[in-house]
Amino acid sequence: MKIVITGTTGFVGEGVLLECLQHPAISQVISVSRKPTGISHAKLEEYLVPDFLALSLDDPKLKGYDACFFCAGISSVGIKEAEYKRITYDTTLHFAKCLSPNPQLSFIYVSGSGTDSSEKGRLAWARIKGKTENDLMRLPFKQAFGYRVGFMKATNGQKRMNTLFKAVTFLYPVLKTLFPRMSNTIHQVALSMIYVSKHGYPNNIIHVKDIDALAAKDTPNA
């Protein structure tokens, strides 16, 4: 499989990238990001894009891939709703369209627990992420998924972690015991992404419990 990954200079994207580079089912990865990853690997190509909204819909660098793992995103804290919508919704939908959605291409959008599929809730960030998921699923991809991730434990080799992520990694065994439906490892997240991209899944919304089950299905020869 040939994979597009965004957000590779952030926590989730970096972890997913590292896992994909080690997975035998992945032959090529293109990282699309504003900044270099700092990672060197035979499978990895980097495409530096200062502004995703400036990408052309017929960009040749984004053609010929089997799946996109869209891990880019920002926190809504301290950001006005209009700006958050531009970064979260407008940018994601534009990028998805630049991939030329087609029945051979899977798209995975990392949203988060609490995302509002009804688009009617009181929390702006949850409504915006819900609209993003819904509109991605209307595009003619093989299948589009909204990943409602929770707490995540870093994978081996990760460097892009703030204090919170480091704390979660340290406390992960306790969190998984106390809150089994609120946490996964990045390793599990990446394995589940690879599995659903290849095989599909009955549900377009992927929760923590689904990630646990899907990761267990993935094997090097799956």
CA angle 93–103–85, rounded 5-degree value: 10
Tens digit of pLDDT at every position of the chain (222 positions):
999 999 999 999 999 999 999 999 999 999 999 999 999 999 999 999 999 999 999 899 999 999 999 999 998 888 999 999 999 999 999 999 999 999 999 999 999 999 999 999 999 999 999 999 999 999 999 999 999 998 888 898 998 877 777 777 778 788 788 887 788 999 999 999 999 999 999 999 999 999 999 999 975 544
Q: What is the largest CA-CA distance in the chain?
A: 48
| pLDDT at residue 151, rounded to an integer | 86
Closest to 197 in 3D by CA, of 129, 144, 133, 147: 144
Burial classification of residue 137, based on how many CB atoms lie within 10 Å of its CB (0-12 exposed, 13-18 middle, 19 or more buried): middle
User: What are the pLDDT digits (tens) for 132-159?
Assistant: 999 999 999 999 999 999 888 889 899 8
Counting every residue written for the chain, the total comes to: 222
Strand 67-70 relative to strand 151-153: parallel, antiparallel, unpaired?
unpaired
Q: What is the DSSP code (8-state) at residue 2?
A: E
**Tokens 């690997």, located at residue:** 41
H helices of the chain, where?
A: 11-22, 81-85, 91-98, 124-136, 163-178, 186-199, 208-217
Q: Cα–Cα distance between 222 and 218 in angstroms, integer?
A: 6
- Give bridge partners of residue 47 from the DSSP assignment: 32
Q: Cα–Cα distance between 55 and 94 in angstroms, integer?
A: 8
Task: Enumerate residues 6+ apart whose C-beta is below 8 A from 24.
Answer: 220
**Tokens 């972890």, located at residue:** 15
Task: Name all domains of the chain by residue range, CATH numbers in brackets.
Answer: 2-217 (3.40.50.720)
